[in-house]
Every structure is written in structure tokens, then in C-alpha cells.
Amino acid sequence: MPKVTYRQQDGSEQTIDVPVGWSLMEAAIQNNIAGIIAECGGGCACATCHVYVVDGAKLPPIADMEGDMLECTAAERQPNSRLSCQIKMAADMDGLVVLIPARQT
């Protein structure tokens, strides 16, 4: 299974196996990763699953809805900002590293 590393603001990291087809948000929730709230459960309706992609080449592009929601994140949007519920895991995304922002609400 491809692996994803979730990094916290304090630098601590958790690396987990993410089933292909799951979103980065789902994997975070099901592995008790702190700091991903995901109030809408992946509906692209809350922007509380924001992450910064530190290292990851092969990500799907940002769709319009995600781009709009990213304008509304609690922590500042940066060029590498994504909504983790909108990134579906693919085999070639192995090794992805994401940083969890300081706040989601």
C-alpha cells in the first residue's frame, strides 16, 4: 500500500498505509491523526480538512469547488494548500508528505 506521512506543526510525524481509492482525509481520521477535523465528512463543504503538501509530485489537479473552498480555510492558504478529502490515494502517490495547519476552524 502507498504510504503517506502526516506532519504536525511541532514536527512530529506519522506515516501510514493508505488504501488506494481512500482520501487522505479518510486515512487520517481512521488513523487518529490529530488536526484533521473534516466536519462534512468529505463533502468538500467545510474546509476543515486543510493540509499543505510538502512533498508530492503526482497529485490530481485542484477542481473548481476545491479551489473555492481553499479560499476559506482557517489557516492561511498557500500555493501548496489542498483539501485532504479531495485527494484520492493512487499507487503513484507513495511517499507523499503533508503538513497539518495550526488551525482548521
Partner 1 sequence: MTGKAPIIVIGAGQSGQQICDSLRKGGYEGHLMLLGDEASLPYQRPPLSKKFLTGTLEAERLLLRPASYYEQQKIDVHLNARVDSIDRAACRLRLRSGEALAYSGLALATGTRIRPLTVPGAADANIHYVRSLADGERLAAALKNARRVAVIGGGFIGLEVAAIAREQGREVVLIEAFERLMARAVAPQVSAFYAELHRGHGVEVLLGTGVDAIRTVAGEHTVVTSTGAEYTVDLIVAGIGVVPNSELAEAAGLACRNGIVVDDCARTSDPLIVAAGDCTWHMNGFLQREIRLESVQNAVDQAKSAAASLLGQSSVYCQVPWFWSDQYDIKLQIAGIGMPHDQAVLRGDVSSGAFSVCYFRDGVLVGVDSLNKPAEHMAARKLLAQGTPLSAAQAGDTSVDLMQLARGA
Applying CB under 8 A, the residues found at the interface with partner 1 are 22, 26, 29-32, 39-45, 47, 65, 68-69, 71-72
Which string of x and - marks every residue 16-45 that binds ligand FES (by CB under 6 A)?
A: ---------x------------xxx-xxxx
Considering the rule CB under 6 A, would residue 85 count as an interface residue with ligand FES?
Answer: yes
- How do beta strands 3-7 and 96-99 pair? parallel
Find the shortest distance in angstroms from Cβ 77 to partner 1. Answer: 11
Q: What is residue 61's DSSP assignment?
A: P
CB 1 to ligand FES: min, Å: 22
- Locate all alpha helices (DSSP H) within 5-92, ordered by sequence: 24-30, 64-70
Report the distance separating Cα 10 and Cα 38, nearest Å: 21
